[in-house]
Structure 1
Amino acid sequence: MRPVIGITTYNGKSPSDLPIVAVQTRYVRAILQAGGLPLLLPNQLAQDEWLEIYPHLGGILLTGGGDIAPEHFSGAHHPKVGEVDEERDSLELALLRFAAEDKKPFLGICRGCQVVNVALGGTLYTHIPDQVQTGIRHDCYPELPRTHLAHPVRIEEGSQISKIFGEPILQVNSLHHQGIKNLAPALKAAGHAPDGMIEAVELPEHPFGFAVQWHPEWLTDQLPTRNLFKAFVEAAAEK
């Protein structure tokens, strides 16, 4: 049987203004193309409820989305911090901590990368343009397609994730305004933008504990991206 991948979701509104639980289809397609079976994880799950589902999951995909409440990392509030979702924050932070301890394969994407860092004790820049002097525009580029390649990322030689990507330099998109400030003690930086911003992290001694700041689900035409999702699903199949 193909491994089941739990995919985190967001709380939103339908066109008729009804509350919904949703996820962008790109995440679902990326998991299906890599050979996994996607299962959406609603934020309304209480701990005892997601713990019942947890044993059936081969891996966990932490998706992109809104900002994490600064209270979770002792961060200062900033006018550019978007509307936060405490329900989502609580589920994802608890789920990641459990998966890290249990050695369940996980992959964090954008917000998911930030969740991994915060859950394990790291902090974030709440708005990079105002807090970091950089010539790189770490932003959502709303005027450009999500496949727009905004800047390169240098993958650290000898890192675990370098074995998956197979290339030392990746061209990536940028759909974020927050990023890792202080790296969680348990994590290792595995990729950097030219300005030094951490773009990829890994959890040593974990079978598959990786997170990236960009959005690979929009770049599945790239071989390194396909390798990432394939390796994730393969690790989930072994769990």
Structure 2
Amino acid sequence: MTPLIGISTYREDSAAWGPWRMPAALLPLGYPSLVQRAGGLAAMLPPGDPATASAVVARLDGVVIAGGPDIEPWRYGAEPHPRTGPPARQRDAWELALIAAALAADKPLLGICRGMQLLNVALGGTLVQHMEGHVGEGAGQFGAHPVTALPGTRYAGLVPGRFGVPSQHHQSVDRIGEGLTVSAVAADGTVEAVELAGHRWVVGVQWHPEMADDTRVMADFVRAAAG
């Protein structure tokens, strides 16, 4: 059967469309489109009660934690940097619960940008809160830069060698979370992909595959979810 993939969403308190302005759960179309192109069915997972995360994950074949705002620094024991964005507390709590549930149930899990950072935090890692001169400086501005896969990793088997990726972020992984392996880096050493051994399929990528015409990572994730 075609696997059902849940994708976490933004929560916006004042979104506008047509004559309407009201709270909304939002997700850039690139995410569900990439899941669909890779052979999966896409379902949106708006922020909800963390106590229901296990029940939600039980009905899914795989979970994608999407990109989005900065993670609240106290969650990894840090004081806020002046350039750290406003907190998204409900989303942080919801997505951390989704990650915990997916890991406990051994469901395939893919973290994209913020999603990779949150996976790292969930496993006890920390973040660099602001990177000067990062690619794509400014809201919504994507840039391309090369990423090098590290030999012997799952990621290297999917995206071997050196590959240009679309990216827009000002935070990055600092101390690696427990059990995670770095599987790709940028030229300046920024961690661009991680993976977790001992689980069916757990990968995080700092870059945005939904902004590229490249389904290699997502297709492997969907195959694992179908398994």
TM-score normalised by length of structure 2: 0.93
- After superposition, the C-alpha distances for 1:12-49 in whole angstroms (9 at most, x for unaligned) are 13214311011100001000111111111110x22343
In structure 2, C-alpha distance between the alignment counterparts of 1:94 and 1:113, rounded to whole Å: 14
Contact 1:8 1:61 in 2 (8 A): yes
Paired residue for 1:40, among 38, 41, 44?
44
Can you give the 5+ residue segments of structure 1 that lack an aligned partner in the other structure?
Answer: 130-136
Paired residue for 2:88, among 82, 85, 89?
85
| % identity of equivalent residues | 36
What RMSD over aligned residues (CA atoms) do the two structures have, in Å? 1.6
In structure 1, C-alpha distance between the alignment counterparts of 2:102 and 2:181, rounded to whole Å: 17
In structure 2, C-alpha distance between the alignment counterparts of 1:202 and 1:112, rounded to whole Å: 12
Report the counterpart of residue 98 of structure 2 in structure 1. Answer: 95
SS of match in other structure, 1:115: helix
Report the counterpart of residue 156 of structure 2 in structure 1. Answer: 162
Report the counterpart of residue 172 of structure 2 in structure 1. Answer: 179
Contact 1:114 1:180 in 2 (8 A): yes
Q: Which amino acid aligns with 2:154?
A: Q
Paired residue for 1:228, among 209, 217, 225?
217
Alpha-carbon distance, 1:139 to partner: 4.1
Size of the aligned set, in residue pairs, is 223
Contact 1:31 1:37 in 2 (8 A): yes
Q: Report whether the alignment pairs 1:207 with 2:207.
A: no
Q: Which amino acid aligns with 1:126?
A: Q
Q: Which amino acid aligns with 1:162?
A: A
* Structure (1 or 2) with the greater strand fraction: 2
Q: Report whether the alignment pairs 1:195 with 2:188.
A: yes
Report the counterpart of residue 217 of structure 1 in structure 2. Answer: 210
Paired residue for 2:126, among 123, 127, 134?
123
Contact 2:50 2:93 in 1 (8 A): no
Report the counterpart of residue 59 of structure 1 in structure 2. Answer: 62
Alpha-carbon distance, 1:170 to partner: 1.2
Q: Which amino acid aligns with 1:35?
A: G
SS of match in other structure, 2:215: helix
Q: Which amino acid aligns with 1:30?
A: L
Q: Which amino acid aligns with 1:215?
A: H
In structure 1, C-alpha distance between the alignment counterparts of 2:79 and 2:135, rounded to whole Å: 19
- After superposition, the C-alpha distances for 1:156-199 in whole angstroms (9 at most, x for unaligned) are 0011111122x211111221000001001210000011111111
